[in-house]
Structure 1
Amino acid sequence: MGITLDAIGPQGSYRARRRQSVPDVTGAPAAELSLVPRLYVSRTLAALRAARPLPSAQRIAALAAAARHFVEDEVAGLSFAEYEHTVARVSGVPLAVVRAATASIAETARLAGQTTGLPRPTGAVEDWRDPATERGSAVWTRRGEVFAVHAAGNHPGPHGLWLEALALGYRVAVRPSRREPLTPHRLVTALHRAGLAAQVALLPTDHDAAGELLSGADLGLVYGGDDVVAKYAGSTVLPQGPGRAKILLTAGTDWRRHLDTIVDSVAGQGGVACINATAVLVDGDPAPLARAIAERLSALPSLPPEDPKAVLPVQNLAGARAMESFVLAQARGTRPWLGGDGIADDLGDGSAALRPAVFQVDRADARQLRVEVPFPCVWVAPWSPANGPAPLRDSLVLTVFTEDPGLVEDLLDEPTISNVYVGDHPTHWLRPGVPHDAYLGEFLMRTKTVIR
């Protein structure tokens, strides 16, 4: 096991006594991760709190420099290409998806100067020294000083999100997922090399010390399922739960013209992201569309995740079999168009590709529409205007094909639909500067009136 991933505190790398093996998709050890004790967490949080944020211009410049270190440097003995290859082998996310995600992280860091201020109200200024405060003005201020992140491990992309907190002057402590710790380790290393050593730390921990991280910070970010959302909703911790992204095709829409977008929404990015479509609702008979989606998805190849042509996620064989059992149990009573005989495709090395699945349900409110799994799996359902927006609620993204502007307004007014894409835009469309699930800055910041 040649890759060692140490914790990273304000003073640099820290190799803990307790270490955990990080396996690849076959179960073979790929790296070793230090696990820091509770005392190290509390001392690191105290050091972060004591550090003063750099001036805004220096923070932005450091983030741009970190983008270069992220893609150009050798970290933990790995070149950038070797790092991406290893992430694919460890996470099971296809290499092409990893490459797109790491490019997005670097772009997010480079563009921080252009995007960080976008959530700021137009009536507020960034600094109390702004001349506007001589007459009285709102000032955009932090709600705290230390921000803790319990990172996700299903996809590298979300690590671009917490960079916004650094750009706003927070000191950030990241607890990496033990499933894929390579990306946060590389990113925090790059940030340290760019001059932000006192501002950001990497704190791999066990479950017991993880609680110390959230309780010792002013604000936090966690990823998880519905239980995590329910636990932290309305607190100082921002939960990021299931996406349950959907597509709606209203009457008069020729789905054949939009099949590329629909299939891409389901299977793009390997189908592992929270912004992949998990449900398609059709005003009319859903069977022809379900059949067409299944025909397209059935042609996707099963390949090891590090293969440049891989498009499907891979898990260890036991995990893939467990996922298969779960999906088939959830699909009882539905009409299977693809995946009804199983989805775990043994690759012969202890791993399995997760093959796509398409199931047709008979109601717009079928319970299966809330089932989200980390591979291309979609539930196709009938919908009519009489159903209204209710079946579309709790969607991170809704792509809608309609000529009815009143429906678009109703969907925008629905508070549980985070993003509405009208027309041929896949549900996984995203770029720096647009909110994912609202701007993170809306959670991190507040306005105060200053007059001087």
Structure 2
Amino acid sequence: MAAPHKAAVPHLDALGPRGPYRTLAPEPVTDVTGTEVARLSLVPPVYVDRAMAALRRAAPPSPDRIDGQLAAAAESFASGTVGGLGVGAYEDLVSRTSGTPLRVVRAATRDTARFIARARTSADQGRPRGTAAGLWGAGPRAVWARRGEVFAVNASGNHPGVHRLWLEALALGYRVAVRPSRREPFTPHRLVGALRQAGVGEDQVVLLPTDHRAADTLVHGADRSVVYGGDDVVARYAHDPRVLPQGPGRSKILVTADTDWRAHLDTLVASVADEGGTACVNATAILVEGDPAPLAEAVADRLAALPSLPPRDERAVLPVAPLERARALGSHLTKVAAGARAWLGGDGVVDDLGDGSAVLRPAVHQVDSAHAGQLRTELPFPCVWVAPWSRSDGIAPLRDSLVLSALTRDGALLDALLAEPTVANLYIGDHPTYWMAPGVPHDSYLSDFLMRSKAVIGAR
């Protein structure tokens, strides 16, 4: 009997300034069960150097054509065949490798397409009112100009949505180099491929899969970079003005005594668990003026009912990881949670699926103080710390938040939170922490980092 046919796994080539590039020994990409599902070509530092030099020599994307190119790329990304993969195959691979529930991946595809189509208008939202878009004319004027020519992205693989932000750099005329996560390279590969199919030049946007050594070459070779990672990454680049670190979100919810949290329970639970609880905009802490125990119990009851299913199951809502990684995350949580009251997850968060992978189940812990160290712990699954908060605590426990949803009618408190520099986004009332839309800043406008205003006098 003939041996059963084994389907060929797709190759994800580097997408360089002269077209696709395949290495002799591509690295296997495995799913959460350890099964090889693709092969990824990793390029060496010398290739990165040459690619970055080519980007620097290239002309900026044409401002007259970019809207049409972005619209076409959005359509291809959402429903076309890119790099040999239809949208269904692409979404299946993302779910399998990242462990993100398939329904979350499908929603991310739609949302990413929306961000692609609106990237230029979104970027333009950050333009100072008194500036022009590089247009020449007689008399003194202010012109909005790039701070450089080449933009690099050292991406993470926790959620497909991380690739929406850098599209604005391309729309502003930067040439862009993307280093994909080796855990989930499919989204950036599809996005760069869709842009190229739409007419964006091969020397204007490139995909450079690399190891960590070559990643430094990428960042140092760019005029501006965005780098994703943990606190160690933020600390490493904190003093480099050319790098925008994107670290843990530590998004929070505040509920004051003038608000009945029971009327907002759906929003509280969704803020913790939507998107599988993997995004930087998921709530990791809820601070309650008064007794936090009833709220913690109610949230835990809701989260406990979520099913444990493989990521490709249509009903799955929780993230899945390789078993060893899941156990490591579970052990870390147990150590961090020492001394806290476990409403959910105290007996473990790892639910072994029996195929080499495990569901990461939700955890809800109550701590004794708004200043408890656990409130800074962010994990890649629904994990929330519930703490008491009082007026004497002030806004200090609410600092360092990518998003703060404030369920309060206290105008003076809201004014203080709006003025707090380390609260990046303030959502007032019944709005989940994960809410995002094109044209609305995520962590300020990216153009604040990429552009500057220049005075220009005279005409050419």
Alignment correspondent of 1:228: 233
How far off its partner does 1:99 sit? 1.2
Q: Could you list the runs of 5+ residues in structure 1 that have no partner in the other structure? A: none
Q: Distance in 2 between matches of 1:391 and 1:354?
A: 27
> In the alignment, what sits opposite 2:217?
212
Distance, in Å, in 2 between the alignment partners of 1:33 and 1:88 is 17
> 1:306 offset after TM fit, Å?
1.1
1:143 aligns with 2:147: yes
Which residue in 2 is equivalent to 1:310?
316
The residue type paired with residue 224 of structure 2 is L
Aligned-residue offset at 1:256: 0.5
Which of 189, 195, 199 is the equivalent residue of 1:191?
195
CA distance in structure 2 between the aligned counterparts of 1:11 and 1:392, rounded to whole angstroms: 48
Query: How far apart are residue 375 of structure 1 and its match?
Result: 0.3
The AA in structure 1 aligned to 2:180 is P
Q: Partners of 1:163 and 1:115 in 2: how far apart? A: 10
SS of the residue corresponding to residue 46 of structure 2 reads helix
Is 1:174 the counterpart of 2:178? The answer is: yes
Report the equivalent of 1:19.
26
Which of 252, 262, 268 is the equivalent residue of 2:274?
Answer: 268
1:10-409 matches, cutoff 5 A: 10-129=17-136, 131=137, 134-196=138-200, 197-235=202-240, 236-409=242-415
Give the letter aligned to residue 181 of structure 2.
Answer: S
Which of 428, 443, 446 is the aligned partner of 2:449? 443
CA shift for structure 1 position 210: 1.1
Q: Secondary structure of 2:369's partner?
A: coil
* Alignment partners' CA distance in 2, 1:377 and 1:115: 32
**CA-based RMSD:** 1.0
Is the 2:61–2:174 contact (alpha carbons within 8 Å) kept by the matching residues of 1? Answer: no
Distance in 1, matches of 2:187 and 2:438, equals 18
TM-score by length of 2: 0.96
Q: Matched residues in 2 for 1:17 and 1:208: separation?
A: 19
CA contact (8 A) 1:59 1:169 kept: no
- Bigger Cα displacement from structure 2, 204-213 vs 54-63: 54-63
> Between the two proteins, what is the percent identity of the paired residues?
62
Q: 1:324 aligns to what SS in structure 2?
A: helix
The two structures have a TM-score, normalised by structure 1, of 0.98
Quick one: distance in 1 between partners of 2:342 and 2:277? 18
Following TM superposition, the consecutive aligned residue runs of length 4 or more in structure 1 with deviations greater than 6 angstroms are: none
For residue 102 of structure 1, report the CA deviation from its aligned partner.
Answer: 1.5
Q: Return the offset for 1:73.
A: 2.5
What is the one-letter code of the residue matched to 1:227?
A: D
SS of residue paired to 1:353: strand
Deviation by residue 1:386-418 (Cα, 9 ceiling, x = unmatched): 100000010000001111111011001111110
1:252, distance to aligned residue in structure 2 (A): 2.3
Report the secondary structure of 1:336's partner residue.
strand
How do 1:412-427 and structure 2 match up within 5 A?
Answer: 412-427=418-433
For 1:112 and 1:326, how far apart are their aligned partners in 2? Answer: 38
What secondary structure, in the 3-state scheme, does the structure 2 residue paired with 1:44 have? helix
Match of 2:453, SS state, is: strand
CA contact (8 A) 1:152 1:176 kept: yes
Q: Distance in 1 between matches of 2:295 and 2:183?
A: 36
Instruction: Tell me the CA shift for residue 137 of structure 1.
Output: 1.2
How far has the Cα of 1:308 moved from its partner?
1.7
Instruction: Please identify, of 55-64 and 135-144, the stretch whose mean Cα deviation from structure 2 is larger.
Output: 55-64
Q: How far did 1:451 drift?
A: 1.6
Greater shift after overlay, 13-22 or 144-153? 13-22
Counterpart Cα distance in 1 of 2:146 and 2:239: 18
- Distance in 2 between the 1:71 and 1:123 partners? 36
How many residues get paired? 449
Structure 1 distance, partners of 2:324, 2:333, is: 14
> In the aligned structure 1, how far is the partner of 2:405 from the partner of 2:80?
39
Residues 365 and 391 in structure 1, CA contact (< 8 A), matched pair in contact too: yes
**Alignment map for 1:2-13 (pairs within 5 Å):** 2-13=9-20
What SS does the aligned partner of 1:116 have? helix
